[in-house]
Every structure is written in structure tokens, then in C-alpha cells.
């Protein structure tokens, strides 16, 4: 078990985040945050998946705040270590998406983060669980999982800012709606669907306003269900996603619920907080008030 002073803040740095920015930021982080009143200790993640273990051990040592230095994937890993504890998750977002940070009101400019953290409030929020794993922002199946599988290659070519958009455009050209059986609480929906997303936060996909009215502490998912859209309709919906005007009540609908079950005819790409995995079934459950965070 790692040993830390309980009054200290632990920063867990993903050195690969932000196209290598994590390693560079880590060198200056202590000076920057200590200037805002934090007593900081820094650990770099030694391997994928280790951030959850480090965060869990820090919480057991009595550390009050753990800062995730990275993107949504880093925040997801650390949240999996801090869920159902009193240790707060804070963010120093340097990834390509940073959608969870948007939902918590973090500033977009890196130079403003230390000041924001100094005045941020501790609050308790909900988390989701999909197939046994915690997610903080959004989980889904369909074209978003398809994009998540391909975004790394796209980002290498056009950079992280455009990586998701390019991946989405390519996927619209190649991915077709798939047969799904959905159960949202007690309501059953069957048919072909382009995408189904259980949103806890307001954004996903590097700034897409997937669930404009979502709240992190209302005990409910905002569940986006897009049906059998053709390529042109998919392009129109993609453009509207950035403005949050995509829900039309017909082929793009929004539901609210505490649970979502998705049964598929075959294994399909899925994503949780942008991390891709293939599955034939999704079991999504709300865990109200399970995570303490620093935010607005």
C-alpha cells in the first residue's frame, strides 16, 4: 500500500495522455498547484489499469483528494478506485476529449485549472455501471462504439481535436443500424438502432452535446436512442449533436431511467467513457450518490 499524508493531495498522472503531454505536465504540476494551496504528491501510472489501484490505496490511507491528470479514460480509471469512498476525484484535464470535465464546469484553458480547483466545491454525484464497470460520463453501443475503436488512428492523422469528428464521418459511411432489444426501466423497444447512449453527463465525443439536460446528481440517466437512420439523416444528426438540437422525438429520442438493458444479435462495439470494448449485451445501472468530486 502506498503511504501518503492524509492532508496531502495525490495527483495521478497518465504520461501518455494528451499525445504525451502528461509526461511534460507532470514536471510542472507540483509548482502550479502548490501555488493554489495544494500540498501535492505525484505518481505516474506505471501501466494501464493501475490508476484505480493507486487511487483505492490512497483513499484507504485517508487522502481526501485525488487529481486525475489525463483525459476521460484516466478519470474513469481513478473513479473506479474511488467509488463509494469519501475521497474526492478532481480533474486536471489534458486529454483529447475531456467531456466529463465539461459536465463538472472545468475551464477549457489549462492555465485556469489551478485557480478553479482552489475554489471548487466538494459535491456528490451519481455514476453508472455497465457490465460491472463504473463509468462517470456516458456508455453506449452502436456507432459511438464503432468510433471509439477507430478514434486512435484518426487522431494520429488529424490531431485529437478532430479525431472524433473524422472517426464519426468515416463510421457514418461504413456502419449501419443494428437490431437491438432495449429495456429502459420497464419499457421495451425493439428494432434497428444506430446508437444507444446512457448519459450521466452532458457531453461525449469531444464536445458533442449528447444530453443537454442531463444532471450528474438526479439519480437518472438521459438515454439517447437513435433509430434506423440513413447516411444523410446520420450526418444531419451529427451536426446537430454539437448544438444539442439532435432530439426530434421521432427517430432520435431521449428517455430517462435508472436502468438500461441492451440485447444484441451479435457482438458489437461499445464504449464506456470513450474506452472501447465489444459485447453482445449491455447491463447498465445507475448508482446514485456514489462518487465525491471537485467541481462547480
Pick from 158, 195, 179: nearest CA to 271 = 195
Pick from 249, 248, 295: nearest CA to 113 = 295
- Report the predicted TM-score, pTM, of the whole model to 2 decimal places: 0.89
Rounded Cα distance between 240 and 23, Å, is: 36
What mean pLDDT is predicted for residues 177-184? Answer: 97
Residue ranges of the alpha helices (H) in the chain?
Answer: 17-34, 50-60, 72-82, 99-103, 113-119, 143-158, 160-174, 231-241
- Give all domains of the chain, ordered by start, each with its CATH number: 9-119 (3.40.50.10330), 135-288 (2.60.200.40)
DSSP 39-57: -EEEEE-SSTTHHHHHHHH
* Cβ contact 125:84 at 8 Å: no
What mean pLDDT is predicted for residues 55-81? Answer: 94
Q: Is the dihedral of CA 127, 150, 196, 256 positive or negative?
A: positive
Q: Could you tell me the pLDDT band of residue 180, with boundaries at 50, 70 and 90? A: very high
Burial of residue 182, with CB atoms counted within 10 A of its CB: 0-12 exposed, 13-18 middle, 19 or more buried? buried
Residue 161 above 80 pLDDT? no
Rounded Cα distance between 227 and 152, Å, is: 27
HSE value, Cβ hemisphere, 13 Å, CA-based, for 80: 19
Q: b/e map of 256-291 (b: 16 or more CB within 10 Å)?
A: ebbbbebebeeebbbbbbbbbeebeebebbbbeebb
Nine-digit cell string for 16: 501518455
Q: Which helix (H) or strand (E) holds 294?
A: strand 275-295
What mean pLDDT is predicted for residues 139-168? Answer: 74
Q: Could you tell me the pLDDT band of residue 150, with boundaries at 50, 70 and 90? A: confident
- How many angstroms separate the Cα of 242 from the Cα of each of 37, 160, 203? 36, 16, 9
* Cβ contact 123:215 at 8 Å: no
Which residues have C-beta within 8 Å of that of residue 225, sequence separation ≥ 6? 182, 189, 193, 196, 252, 253, 254, 255
Rounded Cα distance between 151 and 156, Å, is: 9
What's residue 5's pLDDT?
42
Chain segment 237-260, per-residue pLDDT in tens: 989 998 999 999 999 999 999 999
* Cβ contact 227:177 at 8 Å: yes
What mean pLDDT is predicted for residues 126-140? Answer: 96
What's residue 168's pLDDT?
79
Rounded Cα distance between 14 and 200, Å, is: 24
What's residue 1's pLDDT?
44
What mean pLDDT is predicted for residues 86-91? Answer: 96
Rounded Cα distance between 54 and 101, Å, is: 21
Q: Does residue 3 or residue 218 have the better pLDDT?
A: 218
* Cβ contact 148:112 at 8 Å: no
Amino acid at each position: 500500500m502506498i503511504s501518503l499524508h492524509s492532508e496531502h493531495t495525490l495527483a495521478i498522472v497518465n504520461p501518455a495522455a494528451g499525445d504525451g503531454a502528461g509526461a511534460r505536465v507532470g514536471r510542472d504540476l507540483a509548482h502550479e498547484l502548490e501555488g493554489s494551496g495544494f500540498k501535492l504528491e505525484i505518481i505516474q501510472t506505471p501501466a494501464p489499469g493501475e490508476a484505480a489501484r493507486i487511487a483505492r490505496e490512497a483513499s484507504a490511507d485517508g487522502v481526501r483528494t485525488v487529481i486525475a491528470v489525463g483525459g476521460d479514460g484516466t478519470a474513469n480509471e481513478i473513479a473506479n478506485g474511488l467509488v463509494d469512498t469519501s475521497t474526492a476525484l478532481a480533474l486536471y484535464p489534458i486529454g483529447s476529449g475531456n467531456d466529463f470535465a465539461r459536465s463538472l464546469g472545468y475551464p477549457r484553458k489549462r492555465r485556469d485549472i489551478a485557480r478553479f480547483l482552489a475554489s471548487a466545491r466538494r459535491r456528490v454525484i451519481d455514476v453508472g455501471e455497465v457490465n460491472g464497470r463504473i463509468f462517470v460520463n456516458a456508455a453506449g453501443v452502436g456507432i459511438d462504439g464503432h468510433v471509439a475503436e477507430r478514434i486512435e488512428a484518426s487522431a494520429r492523422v488529424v490531431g485529437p481535436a478532430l479525431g472524433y469528428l473524422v472517426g464519426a464521418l468515416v463510421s457514418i459511411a461504413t456502419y449501419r443500424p443494428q437490431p437491438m432489444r432495449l429495456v429502459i426501466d420497464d419499457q421495451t423497444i425493439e428494432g434497428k438502432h444506430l446508437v444507444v447512449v446512457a448519459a450521466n453527463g452532458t457531453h461525449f465525443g469531444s464536445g458533442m452535446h449528447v444530453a443537454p439536460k442531463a444532471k450528474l446528481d438526479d439519480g437518472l440517466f438521459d438515454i439517447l436512442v437513435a433509430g434506423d437512420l440513413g447516411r444523410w439523416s446520420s450526418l444531419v444528426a451529427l451536426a446537430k449533436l454539437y448544438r444539442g438540437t439532435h432530439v426530434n422525438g421521432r427517430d432520435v429520442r431521449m428517455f430517462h431511467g435508472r436502468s438500461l438493458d441492451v440485447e444484441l444479435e451479435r457482438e458489437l462495439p461499445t464504449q464506456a467513457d470513450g474506452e472501447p470494448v465489444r459485447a453482445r449485451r449491455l447491463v447498465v445501472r445507475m448508482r446514485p450518490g456514489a462518487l465525491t468530486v471537485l467541481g462547480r
